[in-house]
Structure 1
Amino acid sequence: MAEHVVEADGVTLCTESFGEPSDPPVLLIMGLGASMLWWEEGFCRMLADGGRFVIRYDHRDTGRSVTYEPGRPGYTGADLVGDAARVLDAHGLPAAHVVGVSAGGALAQLLALHFADRVLSLVLISTSSAVPVCRELPSPTEEFMRFVSDAHVDWSDGDSVIDYQVGYARVLAGGRRPFDEAAARSLVRRDVERARDFTAARNHDSLPDGELPPAPLSSIAAPTLVIHGTADPMFPLRHGEALVEQIPEGGLLVLEDAGHGVDRADWATIVPAILEHTAAGRAR
């Protein structure tokens, strides 16, 4: 295991792999504003121990990947989709099983639409449809909206950013389980200290979408597993259910009392589900 900074199409991206390159590859796509550290090392190792070659990477403007001037990113959401393909290229992989969480799940859907031949299967965690749907989906919870609207943070002060991110992590956890603040603070601090410029991640809040999806989600042929918590405050469970209704080869795993993201308490459920879903017999 080691971090590697790669150049692809003139873009500098930091990646890290776990396991044997000869094993079936699994590409992990994190949500916006978060580096690859949020795919925690223990989680990655569990997948690798199950016989998978696991790759995580920093989005632009996070971690050790290329950063841009805050407020002037110079790239679009479509470029982030392309970055996932660039990471596969850097590892010499024609295709991989793709796992995305939150906005990373939306990027994974778009990857399956724009680069269908690169996606062996999809796992979509705590996410919603990447394309407009002809149905009404529930809004985020009042607590979530209140935190987003009322939170104050000094982006020039690392400690202020850490306090804000820990508070955000608490809200995303959903409130039905004990929240491990010490673990969250340790992870956030490492994320802030590791970043080239932790203020640059704010660029993700205002990215233009770029290209429109070439087809509806119903055209996704890759076997898809949707994993969603019943206490997700950003995308209530109905968002996950709607994904399964749109994707022909979709299935749903519901995590009781889980919030938004990949909680350590759910690793023992999520990892075996991913291993089963990405087994050779399910790959196209």
Structure 2
Amino acid sequence: MALRASANGIEIAYDTFGSPGGRPLLLIMGLGSQMIHWDEEFCTLLADGGHHVIRFDNRDVGESTHFHDAGTPSFGPVSSADAPYLLGDMADDAAGLLDALGLESAHVAGVSMGGMIAQAMAIRHPDRVRSLTSIMSTPSPQAAPPTEAAMAALMSPPSPDRETAIARALETWKVIASPGYPFDADRIARLAGLSYDRAYDPAGVARQLAAIMASGDRAPLLKELSVPALVLHGEQDQLVPLPGGIATADAVPGARLVTYPGMGHDLPRPLWPEFAAEIGGLTAAAER
């Protein structure tokens, strides 16, 4: 059962791994994905590397606050007025969670939309971010448009039941997952079922997507950062293609870019030790 905290005017569900005395590492998940998509085994790997790991549900997914009254955004040209909230608001949620946990600052790592939120957090709350790890993300959607196949998979219609939700999750991940690594259908089906049971809210995912589309280009503000930064990206990513990672690394002064052949828009299990080592190296160096 997730823990709960009041932060930035909402309720946030979270849990932790490792010793509270470890280097605090806040993990931010991507579009429509709940904190359980940060696999417990991977979180334990990070904790074993000296981190106090915190994962949480973003607003509008899982057990955190859902903005049901905001309805479902209509897509087309989206401006900030059309989105119920922006990525900056989600970054403020993350900073608020640190407040609730009594943490002045933390190392922050995010995947996909979570990487965008992590970037926004470093811009809006630079004193709260000890280091920034942006994984398969981008400073703006325009820097790395998805392929037609990936966009079609992302925009699949809402599912009428649990069985259909699992089937559609498998269809989506077959398109965007890493072509160079085994497709773990059992894990995807299990996570899709757990996600459905925790909270199934397609309108919430649409509101998150509107936030991405309405939040503009962060590159000019990323250029002003002075934070140790790491960018990890798959070379076969169809949803946020490699130029997004390159643009992120180019924008953040001194950022280190590491790319992986055969990796798509997921975190393949065989690469978990490498990801953990890269993140651990960054956070340890930042502490020094």
TM-score normalised by L of structure 2: 0.87
Change (3 A) 1:275 1:3: same
- Paired residue type of 1:124: S
What corresponds to 1:21 in structure 2? 20
What corresponds to 1:98 in structure 2? 108
CA distance in 2, matches of 1:237, 1:197: 29
What corresponds to 2:76 in structure 1? none
CA distance in 2, matches of 1:47, 1:12: 26
Q: Which of 239, 243, 251 pairs up with 1:238? A: 243
What corresponds to 1:44 in structure 2? 43
Q: Which of 237, 251, 254 pairs up with 2:256? A: 251
Q: What is the CA distance between 1:100 and its match in structure 2?
A: 0.7
CA distance in 2, matches of 1:89, 1:126: 27
What corresponds to 1:80 in structure 2? 90
What corresponds to 2:168 in structure 1? 164
Change (3 A) 1:45 1:155: same
What corresponds to 1:71 in structure 2? 72
Instruction: Note if contact 1:144-1:172 (Cα within 8 Å) is conserved in structure 2.
Output: yes
- The alignment status of 1:183 with 2:183, answered yes or no, reads no
Q: What is the CA distance between 1:212 and its match in structure 2?
A: 8.1
SS of 1:267's equivalent in the other structure is helix
Q: What is the CA distance between 1:49 and its match in structure 2?
A: 1.0
CA distance in 1, matches of 2:147, 2:256: 25
Aligned residues: 276
- 1:131-185 deviations in Å (ceiling 9; x for gaps): 97xxxx4532343234346x4x343322222222221122121433321111110
- 1:87-137 deviations in Å (ceiling 9; x for gaps): 1111110101000100111111111111000000011100111497xxxx4
- Paired residue type of 1:8: A
CA distance in 2, matches of 1:127, 1:210: 14
Q: What is the CA distance between 1:62 and its match in structure 2?
A: 0.8
Q: What is the CA distance between 1:210 and its match in structure 2?
A: 6.0
CA distance in 2, matches of 1:131, 1:185: 28
Unaligned stretches of 5+ residues in structure 1? none
Unaligned stretches of 5+ residues in structure 2? 74-82
Give the RMSD, CA atoms, in angstroms. Answer: 2.4
Change (3 A) 1:205 1:211: closer
TM-score normalised by L of structure 1: 0.88
- 1:205-237 deviations in Å (ceiling 9; x for gaps): 333746986952111111111001111111222
Change (3 A) 1:235 1:29: same
